[in-house]
Amino acid sequence: MSWAAETRTILKKELRSEFRRRWSSALLLLFGLVTVFVVSFSLGAGSLTPGLLSAFFWVTLFFASTAGLSRSFLKEEETKTILALRLLASPPSVFWGKLCFNLLLLFFLELILVPLFFVWMNVSGINASGFLLILLLGSLGLVAGTTLAAAMVAKAESKGVLFVILAFPVLAPLLIFAMAGTKAAFAGAGWEQLANPVKALVSYAVVIGAGSSILFDFIWEV
Amino acid sequence: MYIKWMRWLLLIWLSAVIVFAFVQPAPQQQIGETSRIIYFHVPCAWLCVLAFFMTALLSVRYLLKKDMTLDAKASLSAQLGLLFCLLATVSGAIWARFAWGAFWNWDPRQTSIFLQLLIYFAYFSLRGSIGETEKRATFSSAYAILAFLTVPFLIFIVPRITPSLHPSDTVIGKEQKFNMGPVVRWIFFSSLAGFTLLYYYLYRLGAKIKVAELNRKGMA
């Protein structure tokens, strides 16, 4: 099977197994909902400055997504299917299949959480297309930076805590760029002010994604 | 063998650097007396990055050769890097108290050194939570390399996105070139060389111990 076809097969298998465990995606969604709720409820209904809004937005998204992103390899370990996956598929296709699935999962979360955040936090007067681009690139970087950590914690002790500890330092530059870009987009800034964060986000996603996919070969084999 | 006389060289060299750093006039008039920190803080920060670069390099070599001594050396370099990172963070915070008025104000430089500290902590947490030797070596190597890929972003891109008050950007930055006098330059680069030699000395000494430990366990 070609590399692309194998990646598609892994992605299909992920989607099917997720569909069969619908309650688990519902749990992820609820977890995200609680995160958004805690943040917006504790801040009240006042309108915040773009800087604060973008900071809260990415903190919320980071914590709402950790529960789902950390599980991508853990569930293989729990259902004892990890050996079969190692026998049947090549490491790059496992990595990219999981990464694509994580990205879809993140989009699904964002589809519900972002409108809720906007409504609850009274976000208005923004550069919508700029915001969507930053969100898309930020999500790419988020899955690129966490897939390797997810594969590592599946085989380590104290998994949930370790995932956040491992993922955060790697994701920190991404969060800084995404927050800067979102702040500008929330303030209604034009494209020329978004150019630098967008460039930084693209380079981050490419460098970290490529690096992770090379390193994944080594950790998948042991 | 030369490890033995290197400690005497280091003792004399670094003592001389410390004496000259305090008897000579302060290196930068605008900042004043506290600018003497440049002789100690900058070398610590430099070693913090150099040690992490060495960890990443040794990790790459471990992944290619699967030699346990390389992994032991990578973690040793990270230990030294953590030490110098703590020294750079604390000395920087004390300086910031007098130059900027607060120990901590999340200047981009403070953010990036704190993230470097977090990377070291994460590296050692990962090592601590995997029991199997080969798995621990492979995972921590992969993590060190991945984390090292973020360093260019932290050093070169983050300060461009968020403005900084750090003297390397305000006083030494492109517009207001900080011209070190010849004396200042001599003390500064002697200190940099002395600190780098100190790292090398500690690294060689630690590597001997790590290899001896591995040999005793019969794993080298």
Q: Which of A155, A168, A170 sits opposite B135 (nearest CB)?
A: A155
Does pLDDT of B175 surpass 50?
no
Residues of B in contact with A150 (CB under 8 A): none
Residues of B in contact with A196 (CB under 8 A): 160-161
* Strand ranges for A9-151 from DSSP E: none
- CB proximity list for A68: less than 8 A, separation 6 or greater: A25, A28, A31, A102, A105, A106, A109
Residues of A in contact with B156 (CB under 8 A): none
Contact assessment for residue A134 and residue A142, using Cβ atoms and an 8 Å cutoff: no
Average pLDDT, chain A: 89
Query: Nearest residue of B to residue A193 by CA position?
Result: B161
Phi, psi of A36 (to 5 degrees): -60, -40
**Mind listing the pLDDT tens digit for each residue in A30-87?**
988 898 888 888 887 667 888 888 998 999 899 888 888 888 888 888 888 888 888 8
Residues of B in contact with A156 (CB under 8 A): 126, 129-130, 139
- Contact of B119 with chain A, judged by CB distance below 8 Å, is answered with yes
Structure tokens at A132: 């969507």
Does pLDDT of B172 surpass 60?
no
Shortest distance between the Cα of B93 and any Cα of chain A, in A, equals 20
Q: Could you identify the residue written with the tokens 């590296």?
A: B123
B162 or A87, greater pLDDT = A87
Long-range contacts of B53-60 (CB under 8 A, 24+ apart): B53/B148, B54/B81, B54/B203, B55/B81, B55/B123, B55/B144, B55/B148, B56/B144, B56/B145, B56/B147, B56/B148, B59/B140, B59/B141, B59/B142, B59/B144, B59/B145, B60/B141, B60/B145
The ranges assigned to domains in chain A are 3-221
From the list B120, B4, B134, B121, the residue with the least C-alpha distance to B72 is B134
Shortest distance between the Cα of A171 and any Cα of chain B, in A, equals 8
Does pLDDT of B105 surpass 80?
yes
Query: Nearest residue of A to residue B150 by CA position?
Result: A170
A158 Cα distance to chain centroid: 21
- Contact of A177 with chain B, judged by CB distance below 8 Å, is answered with yes
- Contact of A173 with chain B, judged by CB distance below 8 Å, is answered with yes
- CB proximity list for A15: less than 8 A, separation 6 or greater: A101, A104
Contact A212 B146 (CB under 8 A): yes
Burial of B25 (0-12, 13-18, 19+ CB in 10 A): exposed
- CB proximity list for A84: less than 8 A, separation 6 or greater: none
Residues of A in contact with B153 (CB under 8 A): 173, 200, 203-204, 207
Please state, in angstroms and rounded to a whole number, the distance separating the CA atoms of residues A159 and B177: 49
DSSP code string of B101-137: SSS----HHHHHHHHHHHHHHHHHHHHHT--SHHHHH
Please state, in angstroms and rounded to a whole number, the distance separating the CA atoms of residues A182 and A114: 13
pLDDT score, position B171: 57
**Mind listing the pLDDT tens digit for each residue in A199-209?**
999 999 999 99
Percent of chain B with pLDDT over 70: 92
- Contact of B151 with chain A, judged by CB distance below 8 Å, is answered with no
Residues of B in contact with A169 (CB under 8 A): 115, 118-119, 122, 147, 150
Contact B138 A156 (CB under 8 A): no
The whole model's pTM is what?
0.90
Q: Give the CA count within 13 Å in the CB-facing half-sphere of A189.
A: 19
> Given pLDDT bands bounded at 50, 70 and 90, which one contains residue B24?
confident
Q: b vs e for A38-53, b when ≥16 Cβ sit within 10 Å of the residue's Cβ?
A: ebbeeeeeeebebeeb
**Mind listing the pLDDT tens digit for each residue in B47-80?**
999 999 999 999 999 999 999 999 999 999 999 9
Shortest distance between the Cα of B152 and any Cα of chain A, in A, equals 10
pLDDT score, position A174: 93
